[in-house]
Structure 1
Amino acid sequence: MTQAKKKNSPPGARWDIWLEYGMCHWLDTPAKLNIRVRCKKGADSSLVEILHEHNHIVHIERNGEVLYDIPHSLEDVSESGTDRSCLSLEKIVSYGATADLSGLYEVLDKQIAYNSAIAQEGLSRPWGESVGRTLLEVYGNSVNVRARAAAAAGSDARMNGCEMPVVINSGSGNQGITVSVPVIEYARSLQSTHEQLCRALVVSNLVAIMQKYKVGRLSAFCGVVSAGAAAACGIAFLQGADADVLGMIITNTQGNVGGIVCDGAKSSCAAKISSSIEAGLMGYEMAKRGCVFRPGEGLVKEQYEKTIDSFCRMAKDGMEATDRKILEIMIEGC
């Protein structure tokens, strides 16, 4: 096993974390995610290691005895799962409009029920820094504000210890909340049918996945930016928008808040969710008026697909050093 590195590790190493008895140290490892935690109470001690994915436990020890160990490599593993390269806005809009939903209602109904419930919990009680509650208190009760506030409130609760379940998107609970709760709020305001809501959620979920899959599981790029754009696309679809409008929404959103960084799961995620949804909804209002950021302005390209690719390359490749620096700064405070 790789030895723990101390805080004065040289720049350029792949930073991961070694937690031992309340102390944080660096690990020099090629894995994007590698965490080892050693705990001790009295004469007893334990060691657990996760690798590559947050729920991928590869090693467990108790009092020095290995209880669990599976073959593993510290080298980066390739992304697995369904091939998502076939996704396009045209196909997503067509699928959302015509798909047989009989096999999807179970998961969509869970997403509606679970994510709405945790949003309501966050609005009902002062979880975390109460971003969602603050939005409603300060900015009123319009559907635009409710969409942002309810989603932020779900994150308020989730990021601060609430154990209520959430249906995720792209491996993230916050992204799952972001792609669904605003669409649900707008569907209620528009008095949409259950089927119309479910079709809009299909669009929102798939648009988020389409934007995010090239980034990979872990990046310094905040995934709720893509999710906020996707939620606005679901809301636009609910109101009859076509694929061209959805492409403009994505371009306007990414061109606005595409630089938000991920610095871990914590209270401020709720505020980032609100900002991303607001940017998505503004991007929709711009699109309805024929306004879209032009190619050559920053990372914006001629087609929405190329714009998405620009931000994915920035997030996956360009922000690798940013990811290391964020971890370095965070560890300094431990």
Structure 2
Amino acid sequence: MSFCVKDILRMQVAPALGCTEPVAVALAAAAARAVLPGRPERVDLWVDPNIYKNGLAVIIPGTGGLSGLDLAGALGVFGGDASLGLEVLEPLDEESVQAARALVRDGGVSLNLLQDQRGLFIRAEVFDGSHVAEAVVRDMHDNVVSVSLDGTVLPRAQTSSTIAASSEMPRLEAWIKALSLADLVRLLDDLDDEDREFLMEGVRTNMRLAEHGLKFGPGLGIGKALDRLVRQKLVCRDMILAARILTSAASDARMGGVKLPAMSSAGSGNHGLTAILPIWAIREFITCEEKDVLEAMALSHLVTAYVKAHTGRLSAICGCSVAAGAGASAGIAYLLGGNLAHVAGAIKNIIEDLAGVICDGAKAGCSLKLATAAGTAVQAALFSLQGVNVMDTDGIIGASPEETMQNIGMLSTEGMIETDRTILKIMLAKRFSGF
């Protein structure tokens, strides 16, 4: 079975309100709540280690700065709308937030870590005193694979209407893993006006976050700080810094809990920021048409999806750096007029540079990593266009960009399992010691 570029964009790119890990927990809880006859009295949650890691400290939008997967589950129950998918928490209001906080405060939510679970997994059980409803999310953040009431699995028509077509994703990933970089570039020929408008909506969505970050400096305020350095003439605004400013400012807003959606890529809002905003940032420095920019963004999403098909949705490696970063570098090289060899060189350059960046959960500090990824993506493309390319004999770099991206997948899925456990162990020790 083969797919087209429209299929990839439809399945890999979507708006998401808030960090996708707590959002996925809220979605599971909301899907269970939707079929529960009475008022919820208790919520029990089970999550895999990477969902746990990424939801431990990140602020949930619409809560006034609160965090926690237990709270996310309660918010899904009292204020979530499962039909909205990754924007499940959009309807939150003060009343639902207070109800969720009260449930958590009174011990009505239990959060259970499935230490040995591999792959994305969430199970939510919601009780009303007489009945129990259960929803399971698996493999993808918005993929509710089942909803049951009192042990009886309900037909799909009685569950959330926005559930992703889970049966398609494994086939899509198997198909895309068999493609070459040349194949990915050829897919750009199939973009139509509908695809371009969708890609442009991604720009508008992520730019709203960037503009908020630059205006108000939420989160760590990395983007606003970089912009202030330019205004003070302490640094010069060039392509690299422009990409860093926009991307980190958007991440500041998103990680700071601003109630604005991000256009995600491969299941991650921060991936979407990295895949889109560096390309948008550099357009003002060159001569190009909007059509060229949107094609470059499409290539960025395609390469991001290719890398994530090899690494998995969640891992010990920072996907914003190596997956979305590779996508952005490919798109930038393409937008700057590079040929296939230049695009390949850009991908290999950034993977050599950032392969060691770990994922230690979603939090305000992600803005630093996105600033690095965005700037390095531009640098990797510029180097490649100048004939500076990492040699095939270096470390994990392969003879081709495909082999290089496959190697990063092997490193992620086989080589860093214990690293992932150690990261979580450190984070849990901090949490239980009161930090």
Compute the TM-score of the two structures, normalised by the length of structure 2.
0.63
Partner of 2:141: 54
| Aligned equivalents of 1:15, 1:66: Cα separation in 2 | 29
Does the 8 Å CA contact 1:228/1:280 hold for their aligned counterparts?
Answer: yes
User: 1:304: Cα distance to partner?
Assistant: 1.8
Alignment counterpart, residue 176 of structure 2, candidates 56, 72, 84:
84
Alignment of 1:205-220 (within 5 A): 205-220=301-316
Judged with a 3 Å threshold, the aligned counterparts in structure 2 of structure 1 residues 167 and 129 are, in CA distance, closer, same or farther, namely: same
Alignment counterpart, residue 294 of structure 1, candidates 378, 383, 391:
391
Which has more helix, going by share of residues?
A: 2
Structure with bigger RCO (C-alpha 8 Å, 6+ apart): 2
Pair 1:126-2:222 in alignment = no
Q: Residue type of the partner of 1:203? A: L
| Aligned equivalents of 2:226, 2:413: Cα separation in 1 | 32
User: 1:66: Cα distance to partner?
Assistant: 4.9
| Aligned equivalents of 1:272, 1:124: Cα separation in 2 | 21
Does the 8 Å CA contact 2:136/2:147 hold for their aligned counterparts?
Answer: no
| Aligned equivalents of 1:36, 1:100: Cα separation in 2 | 38
SS of residue paired to 2:228: helix
Judged with a 3 Å threshold, the aligned counterparts in structure 2 of structure 1 residues 33 and 228 are, in CA distance, closer, same or farther, namely: closer
SS of residue paired to 2:359: coil
User: How many residue pairs align between the two structures?
Assistant: 315
1:179-218 Cα distance to aligned partner (Å, 9 max, x none) = 1111111123325222121111112211222222111112
| Aligned equivalents of 1:247, 1:149: Cα separation in 2 | 26
Root mean square deviation of aligned Cα: 3.4
User: 1:242: Cα distance to partner?
Assistant: 0.8
Q: Residue type of the partner of 2:117? A: P
SS of residue paired to 1:325: helix
Judged with a 3 Å threshold, the aligned counterparts in structure 2 of structure 1 residues 122 and 58 are, in CA distance, closer, same or farther, namely: same
Pair 1:176-2:272 in alignment = yes
| Aligned equivalents of 1:66, 1:212: Cα separation in 2 | 36
Q: Percent identity?
A: 26
Partner of 2:351: 254
Alignment counterpart, residue 320 of structure 2, candidates 208, 224, 243:
224
| Aligned equivalents of 2:112, 2:263: Cα separation in 1 | 33
Partner of 1:10: none
User: 1:322: Cα distance to partner?
Assistant: 1.8
SS of residue paired to 2:249: helix
Partner of 2:207: 116
Does the 8 Å CA contact 1:299/1:311 hold for their aligned counterparts?
Answer: yes
Pair 1:318-2:415 in alignment = yes
Partner of 1:239: 336
Does the 8 Å CA contact 1:118/1:154 hold for their aligned counterparts?
Answer: yes
Compute the TM-score of the two structures, normalised by the length of structure 1.
0.81
Does the 8 Å CA contact 2:217/2:249 hold for their aligned counterparts?
Answer: no
| Aligned equivalents of 1:58, 1:233: Cα separation in 2 | 34
User: 1:137: Cα distance to partner?
Assistant: 2.2
Judged with a 3 Å threshold, the aligned counterparts in structure 2 of structure 1 residues 109 and 35 are, in CA distance, closer, same or farther, namely: same
User: 1:172: Cα distance to partner?
Assistant: 0.8
Partner of 2:288: 192
Alignment counterpart, residue 141 of structure 1, candidates 237, 260, 281:
237
1:41-63 Cα distance to aligned partner (Å, 9 max, x none) = xx9xx9976543434557889xx
Q: Residue type of the partner of 2:182? A: E
Gaps of 5+ in 1: 6-12, 72-76
